[in-house]
Amino acid sequence: MKVLSLYQDRDTVVHKVDPISKILYIIISIAIPIILPYKTIGLLCMSVSIILLLIAKVFKKVIPLISFSMIVLLSIIIIQGLFKAGNKTPAFHIGTAIFYKEGLLFALEICIRVINILCAFAILVLTTKPSDLIECLVRRGLSPKIGYVLASVLQIIPQMTATMETITDAQRSRGMETEGKLSVRIKAFLPLIGPVVMNSLINTRERAMALEVRAFNSKASKTFLNEEQNGRYNKIIKIVLILLLLLAVAWRVLI
């Protein structure tokens, strides 16, 4: 069975960075705006993540995710702009609803952090093969069982999507209507979701059998098919990221 993932195969510098460096980048890009709660710092971290996505040529894949999250972020802007405790300075009004500056600025800070987190995780997910990520973690002491669970989580969304598309095409070929009015879509939901769930259960059983055949529970020392790649620039990236975190902590302490 073909292994599916959100990974986008590109020949870029970002793709060549090792998974541990990308995980470290996620942690630090989230931690720095928390340590230094300034909008400029949050914007800077978000901009760096977006630039890395552009360099990796995968930014278009993040746009739908950001667009979907904007539904939630819009509700945050409305609630905070109208009802945040401490709202004093009116910014503008829509009809009788008055939006306040303090709430809007607080909502803006939340939006920046959320988009920054989404973009940082997208760098890892879209530019790293799940197999490379799990293998790298297992090399550093992660339990193979936990590694398998993580690999399954990374693959479950694209696999379910592919299965849903296949089953939808099969049902259409049998004359089922799957598009149109809401009532038509609701009527087609159960005939579509039922086979998807059953297919997932069958795949789980087949994977369990395959793992047992390959002695997954063996106590013997595990070996790896691929040699570990430790480029010098990966060490430099880790050092720079750690230094940035230490500088942020020092800045917060001194201020």
Please state, for a pLDDT cut of 90, what percent of the chain lies above it.
25
| C-alpha distance from residue 83 to each of 74, 91, 107, 119, 165 (Å) | 14, 13, 11, 29, 43
- Mean pLDDT on 29-54: 92
Task: Provide the angle, in degrees to the nearest 10, between the axes of the packed helices 101-127 and 39-55.
Answer: 30
Is pTM beyond 0.75? Reply is no
pLDDT digits (tens, 9 = 90+) for 124-170: 989 988 778 888 887 877 777 777 777 776 667 677 777 777 877 87
48 band by pLDDT with thresholds 50, 70 and 90:
very high
47 band by pLDDT with thresholds 50, 70 and 90:
very high
175 band by pLDDT with thresholds 50, 70 and 90:
confident
H or E element at residue 115: helix 101-127
Phi, psi of 108 (to 5 degrees): -60, -40
Distance CA 102, CA 108 (A): 10
Distance CA 14, CA 189 (A): 40
Predicted pLDDT at 249: 93
Predicted pLDDT at 3: 43
- Mean pLDDT on 185-203: 74
- Mean pLDDT on 165-180: 75
Lowest-confidence pick of 61-65, 134-138, 222-226, 250-254: 222-226
Does residue 108 carry a pLDDT above 70?
yes
- Give the number of C-alpha atoms closer than 13 A to the C-alpha of residue 159, restricted to the C-beta side: 17
Rounded to the nearest angstrom, the gap between the alpha carbon of residue 140 and the centroid of all alpha carbons in its chain is: 22
Q: Which residue has the higher pLDDT, 95 or 28?
A: 28
Does residue 241 carry a pLDDT above 90?
yes
Average pLDDT taken over every residue of the chain: 82
